[in-house]
Amino acid sequence: MSSKKHTPEQIINKLRQAEVEIAGGAAISQAARKIGITDQTY
């Protein structure tokens, strides 16, 4: 397994993207997949 190191800014940007998707009516699982993480990570 390779583990990616993300900067805090990158993490915040991905979480904001997920919030926008969810606010737009997407399911959490769809939003998480779109930003490249699993449901459990979100």
Q: What is the per-residue pLDDT across 29-39, written as a single tens digit (0 to 9) for each?
A: 999 999 999 98
Q: What is the pTM of this model?
A: 0.76
Domain assignment of residue 3, yes or no: no
Domain assignment of residue 41, yes or no: yes
Q: How far apart are CA 28 and CA 2, in angstroms?
A: 24
Domain assignment of residue 30, yes or no: yes
For 32, the domain range is 13-42
Domain assignment of residue 5, yes or no: no
Please give the single-letter amino acid code of residue 30: Q
Q: How far apart are CA 14 and CA 41, in angstroms?
A: 12
Domain assignment of residue 25, yes or no: yes
- Tell me if 9 sits within 8 A of 23, measured CB to CB: no
Q: If you count DSSP H runs as helices and E runs as strands, how many of each does the chain have, helices first?
A: 2, 0
Across the range 2-6, mean pLDDT stands at 76
In this predicted structure, the answer to whether residue 1 has a pLDDT above a threshold of 60 is no
Query: Please, which pLDDT band fits residue 2 given cuts at 50, 70 and 90?
Result: low
Number of domains in the chain: 1
